[in-house]
């Protein structure tokens, strides 16, 4: 049995109840085969893969809080610190009812390679099965304060720096930062995605979505295409999707869809991003409100974004939202490129089908790395007690995304897989982490 298959089989036996985590590891290890085969003896002797797939630590805790009716609610909190070989742990917090250890482990594992690709610090992830939807501001604050009253023991500006993810935006980061400061007495860059009045970075809100478009533009250019004039299907209507849509329009493309967990919009005139922000960011309402205010928009229940004919598809909602049937529909509709805004939104079978049919495909760990990259820029500004202009941060973000594209395409070429950006992203991300782990000994 090959080293990869042996490590995967042992992991699968121990983590059978965590399919998302196993899926992420499978995808990474399979595409690392060229580099692992070339260095098998060294990696085996150092137990490198066994150490890579096991988190440094997994923290699971009780989060009690009192709702508006005076009842005690109890949620579960998680922080999984995966690997700090090249810098402090860094990764988002997700508040969503589907959260359990397997989701946080898959996100943390992916984060190792993503962070490495940015050339910045490295991987952890956390969250809770708490659902902020339908909760009052006071309830969200009570939850966030209780969550932080445990988490603060494990994080710090040079230890582990959480950020936002699904269900965690500026409001939640603000409540958690306030509590961290109260408990520790320290004012430090311990969280990113903060408000501008207390250490946040300009362009952090926009960074993930904008970054997806910067790398998409680079990919198309490299293949002799222009993003201007292209029709784009986007899923999601949250932080990543909104700013992907905004930047797509600024680059002259036409995004025609968005979605949330109950339905989706097809707007052939192009999504009205100001209206979408009003509905989702200000009112925190459903997409039916968008349709009601926009005569050109059609609202459909359930999922269906990928049935729309488009040149480019940007899945920006959640894991495994683009399956084999969706991939077939996209190929039939003539899609040329798929760049992931969300983490692991495309199933393994769908990714293979897209690649086998000549669709250019960039995995999330490369294409959505603009968020964590800008979080790292926020950390730099906090350490220096400086704040940079929007243009400065945006320029750095553009350079980082261009660089990531260069790195993943050259790594793919070096190992004989030109144009396979899954292989390229995993190898380029892995190389640096592996070097650091080998240099630091077995620990």
Q: Under the rule (CB under 6 A), what is the footprint of ligand NDP?
A: 164-167, 208, 236-241, 260-262, 316-318, 321, 341-343, 368, 371
How far is it, in rounded angstroms, from Cα 215 to Cα 205?
17
Alpha helix segments (H runs only) across 309-369: 324-332, 348-356, 364-367
How far is it, in rounded angstroms, from Cα 109 to Cα 83?
8
258: tokens are 């968005």
Of the two residues 35 and 428, which places its CB atom closer to ligand NDP in the complex?
428
Q: Who contacts 117 (Cβ-Cβ below 8 Å, separation ≥6)?
A: 365, 366, 369, 404, 407, 408, 425, 428, 429
**Least distance between ligand NDP and beta carbon 383 (Å):** 21
DSSP notation for 186-236: --S--SSS--GGGT--TTHHHHHHHHHHHHHHHHHHHTT--STT-EEEEE-
Of the two residues 83 and 239, which places its CB atom closer to ligand NDP in the complex?
239
DSSP notation for 28-62: HHHHTHHHHHHTHHHHHHTTHHHHHTS-SEEEEEE
Q: How many residues does the chain have?
A: 443
Q: If DSSP codes are grouped into helix, strand and coil, which group holds residue 203?
A: coil
**Least distance between ligand NDP and beta carbon 28 (Å):** 16
**Least distance between ligand NDP and beta carbon 342 (Å):** 3
**Least distance between ligand NDP and beta carbon 185 (Å):** 29
Of the two residues 264 and 415, which places its CB atom closer to ligand NDP in the complex?
264
How far is it, in rounded angstroms, from Cα 289 to Cα 299?
10
**Least distance between ligand NDP and beta carbon 191 (Å):** 13
Catalytic residue among 90, 125, 135, 303: 125
Of the two residues 310 and 317, which places its CB atom closer to ligand NDP in the complex?
317
Of 44, 39, 49, 55, the C-alpha closest to 9 is 49
How far is it, in rounded angstroms, from Cα 423 to Cα 35?
10
Residue pair 94/167 in contact (Cβ under 8 Å)? The answer is yes
Of the two residues 235 and 409, which places its CB atom closer to ligand NDP in the complex?
235
**Least distance between ligand NDP and beta carbon 249 (Å):** 18
**Least distance between ligand NDP and beta carbon 166 (Å):** 4
**Cross-strand partners of 234:** 314
**Cross-strand partners of 95:** 128
How far is it, in rounded angstroms, from Cα 311 to Cα 192?
34
Of the two residues 11 and 166, which places its CB atom closer to ligand NDP in the complex?
166
Query: Is 90 one of the annotated active-site residues of the chain?
Result: no
Of the two residues 317 and 327, which places its CB atom closer to ligand NDP in the complex?
317
DSSP notation for 134-146: T--HHHHHHHHHH
What residues are labeled active site? 125
């Amino acid at each position: 049995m090959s080293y990869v298959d042996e490590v995967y089989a042992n992991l699968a036996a121990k983590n059978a109840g965590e399919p998302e985590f196993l899926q992420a590891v499978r995808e990474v290890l399979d595409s690392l085969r060229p580099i692992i085969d070339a260095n098998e003896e060294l990696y085996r002797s150092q137990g490198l893969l066994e150490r890579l797939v096991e988190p440094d630590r997994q923290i699971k805790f009780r989060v009690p809080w009192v709702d508006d009716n005076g009842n005690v609610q109890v949620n579960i909190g998680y922080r999984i610190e995966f690997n700090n070989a090249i810098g402090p742990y860094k990764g988002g917090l997700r508040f969503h009812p589907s959260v359990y250890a397997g989701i946080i482990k898959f996100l943390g594992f992916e984060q190792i390679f993503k962070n490495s690709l940015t050339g910045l610090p490295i991987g952890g992830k956390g969250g809770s099965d708490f659902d902020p939807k339908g909760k009052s501001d006071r309830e969200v604050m009570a939850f966030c304060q209780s969550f932080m009253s445990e988490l603060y023991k494990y994080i710090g500006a040079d230890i582990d720096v959480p950020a936002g993810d699904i269900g965690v935006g500026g409001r939640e980061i603000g409540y958690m930062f306030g509590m961290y400061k109260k408990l520790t007495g320290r004012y430090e860059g311990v969280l990113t995605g903060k408000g501008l009045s207390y250490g946040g970075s300009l362009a952090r809100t926009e960074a993930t979505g904008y970054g997806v478009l910067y790398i998409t533009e680079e990919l198309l250019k490299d293949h002799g295409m222009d993003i201007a004039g292209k029709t784009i299907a986007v899923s999601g209507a949250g932080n990543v999707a909104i700013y992907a849509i905004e930047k797509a329009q600024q680059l002259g493309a036409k995004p025609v869809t968005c979605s949330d967990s109950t339905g989706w919009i097809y707007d052939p005139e192009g999504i009205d991003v100001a209206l979408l922000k009003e509905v989702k960011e200000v009112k925190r309402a459903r997409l039916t409100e968008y349709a009601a205010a926009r005569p050109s928009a059609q609202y459909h229940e359930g999922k269906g974004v990928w049935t729309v004919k488009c040149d480019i598809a940007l899945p920006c909602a959640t894991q495994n939202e683009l399956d084999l049937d969706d991939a077939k529909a996209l190929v039939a509709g003539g899609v040329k490129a798929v760049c992931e805004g969300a983490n692991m939104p495309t199933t393994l079978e769908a990714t293979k089908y897209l690649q086998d049919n000549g669709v250019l495909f960039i995995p999330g760990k490369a294409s959505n790395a603009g968020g964590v990259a800008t979080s790292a820029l926020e950390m730099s500004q906090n350490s220096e007690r400086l704040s940079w202009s929007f243009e400065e941060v945006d320029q750095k973000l553009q350079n980082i995304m261009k660089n990531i594209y260069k790195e993943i395409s050259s790594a793919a070429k070096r190992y004989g897989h030109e144009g396979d950006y899954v292989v390229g992203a995993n190898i380029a991300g892995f190389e640096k982490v592996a070097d650091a782990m080998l240099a630091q000994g077995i620990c």
